[in-house]
Amino acid sequence: MGQLMRVTTSKVVALLSVAVFAYFYAQNDLVTTSVVYSAIPLALPLALAAMVGVLCERTGIVNIGIEGTMLVSAFTAFFVAAIFEDTVTGLIAGVLTGVVVGLLLAVMSVTWKMDQIIAGVIINILAAGLTSFLYRQGYSIPTTLPQFDITWLAGIPVLGPILNFHGPITYFGIFFIFALWFALYKTPWGLRSRSVGEHPSSADTAGVSVTKLRYLNVTIGGAVGGLAGSYLALEWVGIFERGFTAGKGFTALAIMIFGRWNPLGAFAAAIFFGLAQAVTNQLMIDEVINIPQQFINMLPYVLTIVVLAFAAGKVRPPAAEGQPYEKEKV
Amino acid sequence: MQKQRIDFGSFAIPLLSVAVALFFGGILVYIQNINPITAYTALFTTAFGSWDGIATTLAKATPLILSGLAVAIGLRAGLFNIGAQGQLISGALASAWAGYALDLPTLIHIPVAILFGAFFGALVGFIAGALKAYRGVHEVITTIMLNSIVIALADFLASRPFKEPDQPLTRTPEIQESARIPDFLGLPFGFFIAVAIAYGMWWFLGNTTSGFRIETVGKNKNAAWYAGMPVKLTVVMAMVAGGAIAGIAGAIETQSIVGRFEPAFNAGLGFDGITVALLARANPLGVIPAAILIGGMRASGSTMQFEAGVAPELVDLLLAMILFFVTAPLLARLLRKKESGVSLTSGWGN
Amino acid sequence: MASLLEIKDVTKTFGAVVANDRISLEVKPGEIVALLGENGAGKSTLVKAVFGLVRPDSGEIKVKGEALEFGDTAGAIRRGVGMVHQHFQLVPVMSVTENIILGDEPRRAGFISMKKAREEVLALVEKYGLEVDPDAIVEDLPVGTAQRVEILKALRKDVDLLILDEPTAVLTPQETDELLQVLRNLAAKGVGILFITHKLREVIAVADRIVVLRGGKLAGVTTPKESDESDLAQMMVGRAVVLQVDKGEAKPSTVALEVNDLRVLDDRKLEAVKGISFQVHSGEILGIAGVEGNGQRELVEAICAMRSRVSGEVIVTGKPLANMRPKQAHLAGVSHIPEDREKDGLVSSYSIADNLVLNRFDQAPYARGWIRDLDAVDENGAALVKTFDIRTPSHRNPASSLSGGNRQKVVVARELSQNLPVVVAAQPTRGVDVGSIEFIHQQLINARDNGAAVLLVSAELDEVLSLADRVAVISGGKIVATVDAEGADRNYIGRLMAGLKE
């Protein structure tokens, strides 16, 4: 019964969104297009960060350290790009940094069996400490990653201008989200990963290596987190500041919960967040509303809490998440 | 007489963690062509080498003791209160307002302002606690979100309604003399308040029925429910208490050191509270030496730069490493000790 | 004939406990070997070693003549070993099919082919005659059906050796008979079966050979022809066991506990207790017999106000109980020995003394108002440890230092020492060694003789029949019969437990 309700709600929400969009498009197609277009860069880092969460938690590891992962990856991406004067090298460095952080989290959670929340908090504090300590003023990257003008994409009516003119990480990211969804539900890897997150001993007794799978997925998660951080530094704005990530890693957790640990659900939730910000920005520009800047800044955080207050109680996380797996306790 | 006992055996790991962190920090410093011994000597002599230095150290330690306690009482109840930062800031702002806006004789003004701080800190803690207890929202996210919300809100209030008139900076007017907490024998009085609260919490947890409830809920929620304890209420109470204590930290900081509310005044005090609490293994008494150590490091950060050329952010890094070594079971394995440390709720459920 | 399984001198220690002490045993193709022993004798540990879930410290395990590497579950599976676990190794939120194919999924171009998977499952159902719905979600299944899935999962690969760990713990007597028949059929096909149980009846019914473990050591090897139930019991325990409790006549008086038309939901919001009514008098023991999963847990939790009642009343010594207020239930006079002592009954890091006052820590004499009287707690701890023979160097030690049986004694001590009018005991001797079982049984009889109304809920029919004065049978959330214990017909009760009408 619950299943039926969920599917229906999704369909209703989808229909409503299309209706709302159609309405505003009819009013003023240029502004509507630009608002929705601008929502994508706002949503993408959140979506990618949420994918990290989905990947890790589905396999049973709670990852609070997404924020720290993104921060330290953004840092590395930026400074490597600046020092080597090549943005792509920076991108590679950023992703590799994410891999390293992912491995660290895996070691702490899987091998050392530390409390996973503490492990995540440590990653965040270490990331903040390191980036603070090593930060130097006066660096800049040669160029941000290019925005692609894809003619066939631009040709699509209505959606074309929205989907066109984004950078490589954006396009790859969107592809990755769909690929992750597919892999999670249709491949052996996906079935096994989910079983490890729900009931690891069942996987173990079926001959699946819980440890290997958790290491693999958390490390891949780290790479995706690194990608998200690199996106912020190299594709979105091309700068880096202390505290650059500004809570996006935590908002991503809310998005993951709201999306019920489903890549597509999380993607939709991320877009919703992105739209909320884009719309607010537009309303500010049009001077329809006049809110002090601090309240605009507060918006994502308040939204996160509100979302969680309504969603958290009613959703079921992967059953075995957060608990280290002990083979001999089967 | 069956008394509450202090367990000295559990000092090994925290001490070792500090030592190992200092070692690795030393390596980082050495890579930058600076003599680590000079750096560390500068650090520690400034902090503890003179009466003035000790006074500064204790002043820095005061909010750390309190925010450490705020995190610790949460840990005892099985919660991870990362929101000490936001709770502290609300307390600071509230007490600053009470300090400049109210006209009261000193003996009343000081405690009233502190109470304002406690109340608003408790309020922030309450939000996180209620969301956790009644909606099942994990306190790690809510407290982190609330931190940012409080910072933004405080910034707004200090730049508009509560702003000190006739000047461009975002800050409240100075508090009145009657609200200022004086020094006691040259040492900050707030420090003694903090120590008293620490002892109070230790006694509370070991000797009262409410304390027993908090401890039981933290160790086994189901058994607590079976035993008739109001689990949800206890969770809220622990967060409210933590928030109140962090709020007091903010109040004392405002009333003895800063004299007003300025947004950037205390970056990271709340997060150091986490390190303090974990270094102290969530033991209220252990919080005191942990806070003094970290307070000392913070107090002399700038001197270290001046005398040895090391960036004060080294302290950030050292603290991060201390936190890492205290919680990762590396050292425990080395010492072959059985870890019966602080266990927290995991996952988003419950 | 060559052995299918050869275990030679396997030893395994967990800390201070020697779970297996140089055990050797053999299983030949087509043979059913029963591994018998009481709780904690080391049976589970031994078979888990065969399946790679536990690494022995020393010894050798050979399957079909080849030595098995310790800890290699995948390897054991490859060699033809299948295992049906005591606690089902199924993923609750996934479907029957997904569970069965996990680890060896049929593929099409790299992706899982659910079509092939379903076909495989249906073929298995056909072959072994174990009915299941391939698309059903495991957590929605009744326990007996879930076990069929577990068995099918084990049988999916061509198994030569099938290991079953306490397979009948959650089955009705009828389902048990069906399972034993399935095992006979498999053995007839040449599969070797190693089957763990502590139920003597089943062993005599189906085993070719019986291996008895006691305290980690091999106590003996025999056959059903050579040994009967009491011989086996003696081998298991090492002394003549009194299978019946010595009790005097009950002297029931007024009604102390009354339950009227109680309805309670389970964790999945389905009705687990469907309108139950009964009464328990002071000075009597009412035993509720039933296979686990028929609503007992929800019933007990509702009576103790730990779970919400949808409708109906619970009346203790004439006063109705408030809903969902465990504290008030306790104050009203209900003491509760919970089914899951680790989860509900004890805080393992607390001292034994603290655990002994866990649910009255805020009452006199253990507290004066807000302040706890730690001396009083300490004295009480010392006294109860003596009276209830809890084996520990000190009552100040943490409860985690105690063995399972002694931990249960702590819970029993705490509850019975309060002398409350109503005692609710749920599975009070689960996971407890025989010596402690006898002790606990005696304590319950004493409580009854002191005037308490005792509600005993147990999945062990023998326990219910020997302790209770009256027996009620719970099945499918309802009480289907209530009879006097004296002269009760075991078979009749067994059929009721299975849901048959008479």
Model confidence over C344-386: pLDDT tens digits? Answer: 999 988 999 999 999 999 998 999 989 999 999 999 999 999 9
Phi-psi domain of C103 (left: phi exceeds 0; alpha: psi -120 through 50; beta: other): left
Q: Which residues pair with C336 in a beta bridge?
A: C424
Give residue C499's pLDDT band: very low, low, confident or very high (50, 70, 90): low
Q: Any chain A CB within 8 A of the CB of B115?
A: no
Q: Evaluate whether residue C69 is within a structural domain.
A: yes
Of A28-32, A141-145, C246-250, C410-414, which range is least confident?
A: C246-250
Q: Evaluate whether residue A13 is within a structural domain.
A: no
Contact in structure between A317 and B136 (CB atoms under 8 Å): no
CATH number at residue A98: 1.10.3470
> CB B311: neighbour CB atoms within 10 A?
19
Which two three-digit tokens encode residue B21?
């962190």
pLDDT in tens, A50-75: 999 999 999 999 999 999 999 999 99
Residue B339 is predicted with a pLDDT of: 43
Q: Any chain A CB within 8 A of the CB of C77?
A: yes
Residue C144 is predicted with a pLDDT of: 76
Which chain C residues have a beta carbon less than 8 Å from that of B3?
374
- Residue of B3, B209, B223 lying closest to C347 (CB–CB): B223
Dist. CA C147–CA C167, nearest whole Å: 8
Specify whether C454 is located in the same domain as C371.
yes
ipTM reported for the complex, 2 dp: 0.85
Residue B34 is predicted with a pLDDT of: 79
Q: What are phi and psi of C7, to 5 degrees?
A: -110, 125
Would you tell me which residues 84-113 of chain B have a C-beta closer than 8 angstroms to some C-beta of chain A?
none
Please say if the pLDDT value at position C75 is more than 90.
no
Minimal C-alpha gap between C102 and chain B (Å): 25
pLDDT in tens, B103-112: 888 888 889 9
Which chain B residues have a beta carbon less than 8 Å from that of C345?
223, 226
Pick from B283, B323, B315: nearest CA to B299: B315
- Residue of B28, B153, B343 lying closest to A115 (CB–CB): B343
Interface of C with B (CB under 8 A): 306, 326-328, 330, 336, 338, 343-350, 358-359, 361-362, 367, 370-372, 374-375, 377-378
Of B36-45, B147-156, B205-214, C46-55, which range is least confident?
A: B36-45
Question: Which residues span the domain enclosing A231?
Answer: 43-138+165-320
Percent of chain C at pLDDT exceeding 90: 41
Q: Evaluate whether residue A190 is within a structural domain.
A: yes
pTM here?
Answer: 0.83
Residue B261 is predicted with a pLDDT of: 87
Helix axes A29-58, A188-198, angle to 10 degrees: 70
pLDDT in tens, B19-78: 888 888 888 778 777 788 887 887 788 788 787 888 888 888 999 999 999 999 999 999
Q: Do A122 and B323 touch (CB under 8 A)?
A: yes
Specify whether C489 is located in the same domain as C354.
yes
Average model confidence (pLDDT) across chain C: 87
Residue B1 is predicted with a pLDDT of: 40
Specify whether C180 is located in the same domain as C259.
no
Q: Evaluate whether residue C248 is within a structural domain.
A: no
Q: In this complex, which chains have at least 3 CB pairs below 8 Å with chain B?
A: A, C
- Residue of A112, A133, A294 lying closest to B313 (CB–CB): A133
Q: Evaluate whether residue C250 is within a structural domain.
A: no
Specify whether C286 is located in the same domain as C191.
no
Q: Evaluate whether residue A159 is within a structural domain.
A: no
Please say if the pLDDT value at position A286 is more than 60.
yes
Please name the residue of chain B whose CA is at the shortest distance from the CA of residue A320.
Answer: B347
Q: In what order do the strands lie in the sheet with C453-458?
A: C334-337, C422-426, C453-458, C285-289, C470-475, C478-484
Q: Evaluate whether residue C99 is within a structural domain.
A: yes
- Residue of A298, A312, A316 lying closest to B137 (CB–CB): A312
Dist. CA C451–CA C251, nearest whole Å: 8
Q: Any chain A CB within 8 A of the CB of B261?
A: no
Specify whether C110 is located in the same domain as C149.
yes
- Residue C393 buriedness (CB in 10 A; 0-12 / 13-18 / 19+): exposed
Helix (H) or strand (E) segment spanning residue A125: helix A116-134
Please say if the pLDDT value at position B341 is more than 70.
no
Q: A126 versus B6: which is more confidently predicted?
A: A126
- As its CATH architecture, domain B11-335 has Orthogonal Bundle (1.10)
Please name the residue of chain C whose CA is at the shortest distance from the CA of residue A210.
Answer: C103
Q: Evaluate whether residue C502 is within a structural domain.
A: no
3-class DSSP assignment, residue C280: strand
Pick from C295, C294, C318: nearest CA to C307: C295
Q: Kindly give the pairing relationship between strand C285-289 and strand C470-475.
A: parallel
Give residue B148's pLDDT band: very low, low, confident or very high (50, 70, 90): confident
Q: Evaluate whether residue A217 is within a structural domain.
A: yes
Rg (CA), chain A: 20
Interface of A with C (CB under 8 A): 186-188, 191-192, 194-195, 198-199, 201-208, 316, 319, 327-328, 330
Contact in structure between A117 and A62 (CB atoms under 8 Å): yes
Q: Evaluate whether residue C243 is within a structural domain.
A: no
Question: Which residues span the domain enclosing C43?
Answer: 5-237
Residue A165 is predicted with a pLDDT of: 84
Instruction: Give the CB-side neighbour count of residue A83, counting CA atoms within 13 A.
Output: 11
Dist. CA B159–CA A76, nearest whole Å: 35
Percent of chain B at pLDDT exceeding 90: 38
Residue type, C356: L
CATH number at residue C432: 3.40.50.300
The arithmetic mean of pLDDT across residues C158-185, rounded, is: 82
Average model confidence (pLDDT) across chain B: 84
- Number of folded domains that form chain A: 1
Would you tell me which residues 218-257 of chain A have a C-beta closer than 8 angstroms to some C-beta of chain B?
246-247, 250, 253-254, 257
Of A82-96, C151-165, C410-424, which range is least confident?
A: C151-165
Q: C345 versus B165: which is more confidently predicted?
A: C345
Q: Do A205 and C85 touch (CB under 8 A)?
A: yes
pLDDT in tens, A185-238: 999 999 999 999 999 989 988 888 999 999 999 999 999 999 999 999 998 888
Domain-by-domain residue ranges, chain B? 11-335
Which two three-digit tokens encode residue C274?
């469907």
- Maximal CA-CA distance, chain B: 63
Helix (H) or strand (E) segment spanning residue B241: helix B231-252
Helix (H) or strand (E) segment spanning residue C8: strand C5-14
- Residue C205 buriedness (CB in 10 A; 0-12 / 13-18 / 19+): middle
Q: Evaluate whether residue A147 is within a structural domain.
A: no
Please say if the pLDDT value at position C165 is more than 80.
yes
Give residue C439's pLDDT band: very low, low, confident or very high (50, 70, 90): confident
Q: Do A208 and C103 touch (CB under 8 A)?
A: yes
3-class DSSP assignment, residue A237: coil
- Residue of A187, A188, A207 lying closest to C74 (CB–CB): A207
> CB A61: neighbour CB atoms within 10 A?
30
- Residue of C73, C93, C110 lying closest to A204 (CB–CB): C73
Dist. CA B247–CA C390, nearest whole Å: 47
Specify whether C122 is located in the same domain as C192.
yes
Please say if the pLDDT value at position A330 is more than 60.
no
Q: Do B219 and C372 touch (CB under 8 A)?
A: no
